[in-house]
Amino acid sequence: MIERFKAQFFLKAFFVFLTFEILGVGFLFSQDQGIQYTLYYFSDTGNNSVLTRSFNIVKEVFDKTLMMIDIEVDQVEVPPIIDGATGASRPARQHLQSFEKSRGQVIVGLERFLGDNTTLGGNLYRSYEADYASLSAAGIFRQSLFQKNTTLTLRGQWNKDEVGEITKDDRYLGNWKRVYTGGGNLTQLISPTTVLEINADYIMMRGFLSDPYRLVKIENLSPNFERWLEHHPDERERKAVTVYLRRYLPGIKGGLNGGYRYYWDDWSVDSHTAFFNFNKYVFKDLIFGLDLRFYSQSQAFFFKEDYQKASLTTNSYISADYKLNQFQSTNFGVSLKYFFRDLLSQFQEHDFLENLSVEIKYFRYFNDLNFAGNIVQASLLYSLID
């Protein structure tokens, strides 16, 4: 009996992983128990590309205790000369040639249910790349109120980052950075078809907040110009509030989500983000989705397109980071999600695949700084709840 069980288990595991490998995609996962493998590919108008593979499992390990393990690997490719529009840093020794870079990330988390209405959780996060490392601890407290009509979530995170620099003579220089995040979420059921959600975050960053490789063009009176290393303030206080409204539309078997985020910080960057999402069942097991997002931000108080040497001192803040410039962006996406439940339930020997679903997304992102990118994301989810 045990042997038969073992054989079935390994057969199931083999089937699931074989399916994922054939499709070249992975699982998608939410707070429910499940396994998720996601493949994410980004390329932009500057021929930069990022390939991300993410594996995630959430399983009940003890009574009322969920454990999460998440592993993510990024592969970044940046062509010669063009500065890293991916945002990825480029070691000084490779500033004239294309380079490839890998980044790994591991998250281990536990979530414990204390009674019917209270959840306590925490996770540890570690990421590493050749010239950047991060260690993080996060905690979360969730309380349901009023017969679970209202849910309050509080969360906090502490990051200890090392911003590295690989010099032209291959030496490594480390700079420290700390990030403290506190946030909350309030979710309210408005009606049997409508949910309102409010998120608020406070983020304090301290330490080295510049890119150690990025150079800023400085104009002087002579025909030539100089290039200085970027220099940002060593503290940044950031705040964001987001309001979401999600509504189910029974008449068309669809759902409409809308939201707005306001962000502001003490570098005088503030932004407005509006986003809409529409999902509809094409038929029972297939969901079609449309996403639209508009974003607009102001520029940091020290950002300029042209810096004049005469007006600068060695302590002046200067930046060549386009993320601190004023710009607007638009993001448009389509998605398809298919549940295998009915298709595979016809085959009794494969009925364990009833819990399988696949999702494919495509996004087109562009801004008014002549930057555009394409994103393809494919995920496969295997739910561990019957």
CA 337 to chain centre: 20
Place of tokens 């009940």: 60
DSSP state of 306: S
Of 159, 320, 358, 378, the one binding another protein by CB under 8 A: 159
Residue 173 interacts with another protein (CB under 8 A): yes or no: no
Does 26 sit near another protein (CB under 8 A)?
no
Q: Give min distance, CB of 3 to another protein, in A.
A: 34
Q: Which one of residues 8, 97, 118, 193 is an interface residue with another protein (CB under 8 A)?
A: 193
Shortest distance, position 140 Cβ to another protein, whole Å: 6
Question: Counting contacts by CB under 8 A, is residue 163 touching another protein?
Answer: yes
Task: Output 18 or 177, the one with its CB closest to another protein.
Answer: 177
- Please report whether residue 323 would count as binding another protein according to CB under 8 A: yes
* Closest among 306, 319, 227, 230 to 269, alpha carbons compared: 319
Interaction mask 71-100, another protein, x per CB under 8 A: -----x-------x-xxxx-----------
Sequence-ordered alpha helix ranges (H) in the chain: 2-23, 341-345
- Kindly state whether residue 186 participates in binding another protein, applying the rule CB under 8 A: yes
Residue 275 tokens read as: 């986003």
Cα separation values, 372 from 261, 306, 329, 361, 375, Å: 22, 24, 9, 17, 10
Characterize the bridge pairing of strands 371-383 and 34-44: antiparallel
200: which strand partners?
184, 241
Smallest gap from Cβ 215 to another protein, in A, equals: 14
Q: Is the CB of 223 or the CB of 250 nearer to another protein?
A: 250
- Gap between the Cα atoms of 40 and 105, Å rounded: 15
- List the 225-229 sheet strands across, edge first: 225-229, 215-219, 307-308
Pick 6 or 93: Cβ nearer another protein: 93
Give yes or no for residue 358 binding another protein (CB under 8 A): no
Binder of another protein out of 49, 119, 355, 377 (CB under 8 A)? 377
CB of 295 to another protein, least distance (A): 6
Query: Cβ-count burial of 61 within 10 angstroms (0-12 exposed, 13-18 middle, 19+ buried)?
Result: exposed
Q: Which of 345, 330, 339, 250 lies closest to 291 in space, CA to CA? A: 330
Beta-strand relationship, 307-308 and 286-297: unpaired
Most distant pair of Cα atoms in the chain: their distance: 86
Q: Which stretch binds another protein (CB under 8 A): 92-100, 221-229, 308-316, 322-330?
A: 322-330
Please pick, from the candidates 114, 173, 198, 252, the single residue that binds another protein as defined by CB under 8 A: 198
Rounded Cα–Cα distance for residues 166 and 94 (Å)? 10
What part of residues 201-260 is at the interface with another protein (CB under 8 A)?
201-203, 209-212, 238-244, 246, 248, 250, 254-255
| Contacting residue, 52, 98, 143, 330, with another protein by CB under 8 A | 52
- Binding segment for another protein (CB under 8 A), chosen from 11-19, 217-225, 293-301, 343-351, is 293-301
Tokens of 70: 């998440």
Figure out which of the listed residues 29, 99, 340, 382 binds another protein, where binding follows CB under 8 A.
29
Q: Which residue has the tokens 């990421």?
A: 127
**Closest distance to another protein from the beta carbon of 306 (Å):** 20
